[in-house]
Amino acid sequence: MATTAIPIDTLPSMNPATGEVLGHFERTPASSLPEIVSRARAVQRDWAKLPIRDRCAKLRGLRNRIMASRNELTDAVVRESGKPRVEALFADIFVALDSAEYWSKNAARALRTQRVPHHSTAAKAKRGYLTYEPLGVIAIISSWNYPLAIPLSEIIPALAAGNAAVCKTSDFTPQCGALIEKLFIDAGFPKDLVRIVQGGAEVGQALIDASADKVIFTGSVATGRRVAEACAKRLIPTVLELGGKDAMIVLADADLEVASSAAVWGSYTNCGQVCLSVERLFVEQLAVERFIALCVEKTKKLRLGSGSDPATDVGPLIRPEHVRRMIDLVDDAVSRGASVVCGGSARPELGPNFFEPTVIVGVDSSMKLFQEETFGPILAIQVVRDAKQAITHANDSPFALAASIWTKDKSRGMALAAELRAGAVMVNDAISYFGIAEAPHGGCGASGWGRTHGKAGLLEMMQMKYIDVDGLARSEKPWWYRYGSDLERAADAFLQFEFSGGIGAKLRNARSAMKTFFRDHGW
């Protein structure tokens, strides 16, 4: 029987629910990256000269294209990532639309020149300003779990700021990558301003080697370390979002019905393949029995299946090796004393990548489930005496991306949030801050550094410039040459005038201090 040869320079688009290959997309040759970045740099120079209102108008056009294409985009997300269609709409399409909407309206204000007031007497004759200039070409290396939301929420502010963007989307989601580039073409953006490159690690390395002006990476700690090392050799600044081990602290006074629903959704949404997933639950002793019962009850009601089925709550993992990892994590925890009270098994009869939503209790920090990023549908619970112990356990992790606290006492929740080591803390909600355009996203430690989203994320893509305008243009400055003992005495008097605590000392030194400003330089 004849077979159809598949070119080796293509990427397969696979449906994780079935393992079916949906099509093939052209792989970008690594050797072409210098030329791609060079073309992006050339067109960026003209793009940066456009008034920001014109760039924002283009973003409004992009928003309209995303909205008009939302069904096609949603279908692609569901086919390649496996997530339920509802999740694709809320987490991918909404975030992309909202990013375009927000920056089209707010970029000009965020990047407006700012006056810098001067507090010292020596600088009172000056006027200071902060201005922001685009960096040039932003390289984005993105992830497969949110194949539209993550890259688009980084490309959009990069363009608003006047940069070009070259984005390597995941080799697991090549169709989504191709559709992103098409969006910008259809919205009338300049050719080569936004380029999507397709491939694996070799393309990511080539993108770094092509010397973009900044690299924004989303992915694993191991790959992030390699990205940081490669960029450091070229002194390329980076933003690294390397995942999390997010803690959820449930206090005894929390609404357990609501908190348990949040725990179930926060652990299983996108089949747990979320950097902000709830991966460590710390529940106060007084509430733990009821809380576990509610989580188990709700988990058992979830429907596991293909994301294309409207009845599905939890879709598949992305690839078979992720299923094997879930089995290993559960086995490790059970071998160390944890108990599976719901789920815990692969479901090969549904497809090659299905794993049951799992509730596991008696977990502690000795287990991989509390040490490594899970990235799968496992809800792991540890009982704690009180809030103090919960905070101690939550902070006992190399990851520090986000966390949540559940309590009816909002003031207490705010106070405890201040004690948590995390880039973001939500009180009585989880994960959803990622969809708030104003909210910065990022962490520290093993979770990486820098921020995306919000003004902090926008400024990551800018070069800040300070401009100083002196108001005494015809006067030589008192600290200039030439030096001498008279200037030395006057300088000391000025220090006493400026920094002495008492008004008497200031008055005694005022006359001598003024000599620094009205002196003959002796040229």
Catalytic residue ranges: 241, 275
Dig out the tokens for 119 from the structure: 């507090």
Between CA 143 and CA 149, with CA 147 as vertex, the angle to 5 degrees is 105
Q: Give the C-alpha separation, 137 to 33, whole Å.
A: 12
Given a contact cutoff of 8 angstroms between Cβ atoms, the answer to whether 270 and 150 are in contact is no
CA distances from 355 to 56, 166, 314, 325, 340 (A): 44, 35, 9, 10, 14
Take residue 192 and report the two structure tokens written for it: 């080569």
How far the first Cα of the chain sits from its last, in Å, is 97
Directed axis angle between helix 410-417 and helix 387-394, to 10°? Answer: 30
CA dist list (Å): 103 to 62, 195, 331, 357, 438:
11, 20, 46, 37, 10
Beta bridge partners of 464: 132
Separation between Cα atoms, residue 472 and residue 117, nearest integer Å: 17
Cβ count near 326 (within 10 Å): 24
Separation of alpha carbons 255 and 409, rounded Å: 11
Alpha-carbon dihedral sign for residues 478, 484, 487, 488: positive
Mapping DSSP to helix (H, G, I), strand (E, B) and coil, where does residue 234 land?
Answer: coil
Under DSSP, the state recorded for 433 is G
32-35 contacts, C-beta under 8 A, 24 or more apart: 33/166, 33/197, 33/203, 33/206, 33/207, 33/209, 33/210, 34/209, 34/210
Q: What is the dihedral of CA 219, 92, 175, 9, to 10 degrees?
A: -10
In DSSP terms, which residues pair with 278 in a beta bridge? 246
Hunting for tokens 């992009």 — which residue is that?
Answer: 62
Name the residue among 446, 449, 395, 445 with its Cα closest to residue 425: 395
